[in-house]
């Protein structure tokens, strides 16, 4: 008996020692192990910043969406009680009765899904893409075993409007990270992207959160909102006009850039056939790059604006200087040039040469200025260099050094050939002339909203004086003749406003030098005496002719009319410039 008691005493002593070890020396470690076993961590997804238009309208935003998941085992144990406290229904049938009306599903079908499969699933998908409001309806039912799977969805409430400007978001090649893949979504991704948070709680076997247990939370930091210079209404109108133009003339594409004179703010950067950023997977465009920044075209006679501006700025020509202008002319180096249409030899002023867009007059004016000087002015206007606008895919154009110009290029560069530009560069050019000869960096980003909601305006580059103010005023007077009766673009006129502008039609050459198509352009500013907007419109057509005065000028006119109303610009109170065309 004594031996038995001794053994019992030893065992009790060992158990007591073990208890002391667990309760005192290993208590913290064991508690941590138990806590870790019960802990569940959830990602608190950050909202991507919004992209707003110039008036604060939402162009791109983010919203929470929910998938509904079910634990089939827990659902099978669900009991629904009536108002009298008695069991009304139970299991999958009861759950289907509760959820089917909210999910818009047939009760029998939903019930079948809930009991499907030999092996019961604890994470069975019932429905996808529910709104927050719908999930809250489900949550109020308090059905054990029904869980939300929350995710963020990028929302573009205006469909295709500004699609090529906004771009889209998608998963990267590096993994499941969602990031901007084109447009402003890509160029401003680091600003728009937030930082996810984390919530850690302790739960019981049935998934119930212990309310008194330790809880750790790192809040999500949402991305910052960006405000664009784009006006949504003007953008939409411009896109519709371009789409109609492409349809009417069977063109490949058309673009329009509307800039605010004196600031460089882009009020519209529009393309025909733009895509819906929310639906790129189903309707994949040929290119995500806007033709306004990524398509290289010869400016054609629109490039004469630089030639005329250079000659006036260098004091080599004046509006009333008179020239003998034949249909065909041979220059001192033997190169021969002619105009687009036959006409008799005339004595014409510079004003008339501009209004009629005569090549044979233009080369005489341009020949008064050394080629090196003209090249320098082309560079000053920004040709051969990117504007720096904040969307990807921008091309610098093509402007070869003057030393590489051959005998013919010396003259063809005077009327917009032998070099190439993008539509946005043409917009910058006309905005520079309209802005008193000052080139303001074109930009799409107005600013960014800080964490506290404070607006931080974007700091743009320093403006550059390209022309003397007097030169710019003279050129604006000369360009008013283009939109008058007898000029090349009466279709660009806007009732009640003086309009200055220039047409251009550039040939696209195919194999063997055959005509493969044309690009018709128009650049202009309104009101001519005190410009508020500058616009460049380009239309590319394969296999045919698209004259700038025919396809692009009317688009300018409609955009100008709308913009004048939108900006509340009063009609011109002074008569248009009236310079004689002949002597």
List, in sequence order, the alpha helices (H) in 435-518: 469-479
The label of the residue with tokens 């064991």 reads 30
What is the Cα–Cα distance from 419 to 379, expressed in whole angstroms? 12
E strand map for 131-203: 146-155, 169-171, 178-180, 197-202
The closest of 502, 577, 538, 564 to 296, measured between CA atoms, is: 538
What is the Cα–Cα distance from 518 to 297, expressed in whole angstroms? 10
- Cα distances from 404 to residues 237, 310, 364, 369, in angstroms, run 43, 20, 22, 18
The predicted pLDDT at position 212 comes to: 59
What is the Cα–Cα distance from 381 to 366, expressed in whole angstroms? 17
- Peptide bond between residue 527 and the one before it cis (omega within 30 degrees of 0): yes
The closest of 581, 428, 573, 553 to 498, measured between CA atoms, is: 573
- In tens, the pLDDT along 511-565 reads 666 778 999 999 999 999 999 999 999 999 998 889 999 999 999 999 999 999 9
The predicted pLDDT at position 255 comes to: 98
The predicted pLDDT at position 553 comes to: 98
Please, which residues bridge with residue 475 across strands?
Answer: none
| Pair of tokens at residue 477 | 């007077």
Q: Name the DSSP class of 196.
A: -
- Computed over every residue of the chain, the mean pLDDT equals 91
The closest of 296, 347, 298 to 325, measured between CA atoms, is: 347
Task: With beta carbons less than 8 A apart as the criterion, state whether 436 and 309 touch.
Answer: no
- Cα distances from 210 to residues 111, 205, 220, 239, 510, in angstroms, run 31, 11, 23, 56, 75
Coil/strand/helix, residue 474: helix
Comparing 129 with 571, the larger pLDDT belongs to: 571
pLDDT mean over 44-69: 92
Q: Is the pLDDT of residue 317 over 90?
A: yes
The predicted pLDDT at position 49 comes to: 95
Query: What is the pLDDT confidence band of residue 47, given thresholds at 50, 70 and 90?
Result: confident
What is the Cα–Cα distance from 531 to 3, expressed in whole angstroms? 113
What is the Cα–Cα distance from 348 to 361, expressed in whole angstroms? 8
pLDDT mean over 336-343: 95
3-state helix, strand, coil in the chain (%, to 5): 35, 25, 40
- In tens, the pLDDT along 401-428 reads 999 999 999 999 999 999 999 999 999 9
CB atoms within 10 A of CB 11: 10
The predicted pLDDT at position 433 comes to: 98
The predicted pLDDT at position 173 comes to: 64
Please, which residues bridge with residue 517 across strands?
Answer: 508, 542
Coil/strand/helix, residue 461: coil
Query: What is the pLDDT confidence band of residue 45, given thresholds at 50, 70 and 90?
Result: confident
Query: What is the pLDDT confidence band of residue 343, given thresholds at 50, 70 and 90?
Result: very high
| Pair of tokens at residue 389 | 């606008």
What are the two backbone dihedrals, phi and then psi, of residue 539, each rounded to the nearest 5 degrees? -130, 120
Q: What proportion of the chain, given as a percentage, has pLDDT over 90?
A: 74
- In tens, the pLDDT along 450-462 reads 988 899 999 999 9
What is the Cα–Cα distance from 244 to 551, expressed in whole angstroms? 11
Query: What is the pLDDT confidence band of residue 206, given thresholds at 50, 70 and 90?
Result: low
- Cα distances from 524 to residues 256, 490, 492, in angstroms, run 11, 12, 8
What is the Cα–Cα distance from 172 to 282, expressed in whole angstroms? 18
pLDDT mean over 423-449: 98
List, in sequence order, the alpha helices (H) in 381-459: 409-412, 423-434
- Strand 328-330 with 438-439, pairing: unpaired
What is the Cα–Cα distance from 525 to 212, expressed in whole angstroms? 69
pTM: 0.86
pLDDT mean over 570-582: 96
Query: What is the pLDDT confidence band of residue 16, given thresholds at 50, 70 and 90?
Result: low
| Pair of tokens at residue 369 | 């200025």
Comparing 153 with 379, the larger pLDDT belongs to: 379
What is the Cα–Cα distance from 398 to 387, expressed in whole angstroms? 14
- Strand 266-271 with 253-260, pairing: antiparallel
The closest of 500, 439, 509, 484 to 263, measured between CA atoms, is: 439
In the chain, the domains with their CATH numbers are: 232-566 (3.40.710.10)
Query: What is the pLDDT confidence band of residue 363, given thresholds at 50, 70 and 90?
Result: very high
Q: Is the pLDDT of residue 25 over 60?
A: no
Q: Is the pLDDT of residue 244 over 90?
A: yes
Task: With beta carbons less than 8 A apart as the criterion, state whether 181 and 163 touch.
Answer: no
Coil/strand/helix, residue 203: strand
Comparing 480 with 174, the larger pLDDT belongs to: 480
The predicted pLDDT at position 111 comes to: 92
CB atoms within 10 A of CB 446: 19
pLDDT-wise least confident of 38-47, 49-58, 126-135, 317-326: 38-47
Q: Is the pLDDT of residue 184 over 90?
A: yes
Q: Is the torsion defined by CA of 101, 104, 108, 110 positive or negative?
A: negative
pLDDT mean over 127-134: 92
The predicted pLDDT at position 327 comes to: 98
The closest of 518, 575, 574, 513 to 543, measured between CA atoms, is: 518
Q: Is the pLDDT of residue 17 over 80?
A: no
Q: Is the pLDDT of residue 510 over 60?
A: yes
CB atoms within 10 A of CB 453: 7
Query: What is the pLDDT confidence band of residue 30, given thresholds at 50, 70 and 90?
Result: very low
Q: Name the DSSP class of 265.
A: B
The predicted pLDDT at position 19 comes to: 60
Comparing 212 with 146, the larger pLDDT belongs to: 146
Residue 201: half-sphere exposure toward Cβ, Cα within 13 Å: 12
Residue 375: half-sphere exposure toward Cβ, Cα within 13 Å: 14
Highest mean pLDDT: which of 124-133, 212-221, 278-287?
Answer: 124-133
- Cα distances from 427 to residues 136, 198, 252, 299, 383, in angstroms, run 50, 48, 20, 11, 11
| Pair of tokens at residue 105 | 């599903």
Comparing 507 with 504, the larger pLDDT belongs to: 504
Q: What proportion of the chain, given as a percentage, has pLDDT over 70?
A: 89
């Amino acid at each position: 008996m004594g031996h038995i008691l001794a053994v019992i005493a030893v065992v009790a002593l060992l158990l007591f020692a073990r208890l002391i070890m667990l309760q005192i020396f290993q208590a913290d470690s064991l508690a941590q192990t138990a806590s870790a076993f019960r802990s569940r961590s959830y990602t608190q997804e950050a909202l991507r910043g919004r992209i707003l238009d110039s008036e604060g309208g939402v162009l791109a935003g983010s919203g929470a969406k929910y998938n509904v998941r079910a634990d089939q085992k827990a659902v099978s144990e669900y009991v629904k009680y009536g108002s009298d406290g008695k069991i009304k229904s139970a299991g999958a049938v009861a759950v289907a009765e509760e959820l089917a009306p909210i999910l818009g599903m047939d009760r029998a079908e939903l019930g079948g899904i809930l009991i499907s499969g030999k092996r019961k699933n604890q994470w069975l998908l019932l429905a996808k893409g529910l709104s927050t409001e719908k999930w809250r309806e489900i949550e109020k039912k308090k059905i054990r075993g029904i869980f939300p799977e929350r995710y963020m969805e990028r929302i573009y409430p205006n469909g295709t409007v500004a699609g090529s400007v906004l771009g889209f978001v998608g998963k990267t090649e590096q993994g499941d990270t969602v990031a901007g893949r084109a447009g402003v979504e890509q160029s401003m991704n680091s600003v728009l992207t937030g930082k996810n948070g984390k919530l850690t709680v302790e739960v019981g076997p049935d998934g119930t959160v212990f309310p008194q247990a330790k809880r750790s939370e790192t809040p999500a930091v949402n991305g910052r909102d960006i405000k664009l210079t784009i006006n949504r209404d003007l953008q939409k109108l411009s896109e519709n006009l371009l789409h109609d133009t492409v349809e009417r003339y069977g063109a490949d594409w058309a673009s329009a850039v509307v800039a605010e004179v004196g600031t460089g703010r882009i009020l519209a950067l529009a393309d025909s056939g733009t895509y819906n950023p929310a639906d790129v997977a189903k309707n994949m465009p040929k290119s995500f790059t806007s033709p306004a920044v990524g398509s290289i075209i010869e400016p054609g006679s629109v490039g004469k604006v630089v030639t005329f501006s250079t000659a006036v700025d260098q004091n080599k020509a004046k509006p009333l200087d008179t020239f003998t202008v034949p249909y065909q002319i041979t220059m001192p180096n033997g190169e021969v040039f002619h105009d687009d249409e036959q006409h008799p030899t005339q004595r014409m002023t510079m004003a008339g040469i501009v209004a009629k867009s005569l090549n044979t007059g233009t080369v005489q004016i341009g020949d008064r200025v050394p080629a090196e000087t003209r090249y320098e002015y082309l560079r000053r206007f920004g040709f051969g260099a990117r504007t720096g606008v904040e969307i990807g895919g921008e091309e610098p154009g093509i402007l070869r050094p003057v030393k590489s110009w051959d005998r013919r290029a010396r003259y063809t560069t005077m009327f917009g050939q032998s070099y190439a530009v993008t539509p946005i560069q043409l917009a910058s050019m006309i905005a520079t002339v309209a802005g008193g000869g000052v080139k303001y960096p074109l930009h799409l980003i107005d600013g960014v909203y800080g964490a506290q909601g404070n607006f931080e305006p974007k700091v743009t580059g320093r403006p550059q004086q390209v022309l003397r103010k007097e030169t710019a005023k003279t050129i604006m007077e000369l360009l008013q003749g283009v939109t008058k009766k007898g000029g090349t673009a009466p279709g660009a006129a806007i009732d009640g406003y003086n309009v200055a502008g220039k047409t251009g039609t550039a040939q696209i050459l195919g194999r063997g030098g055959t005509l493969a198509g044309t690009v018709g352009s128009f650049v202009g500013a309104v009101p001519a005496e005190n410009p508020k907007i500058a616009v460049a419109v380009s239309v590319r057509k394969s296999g045919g002719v698209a004259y700038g005065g025919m396809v692009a000028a009317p688009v300018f006119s409609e955009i100008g009319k709308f913009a004048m109303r939108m900006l509340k610009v009063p009609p011109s109170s002074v008569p248009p410039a009236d310079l004689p065309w002949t002597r």
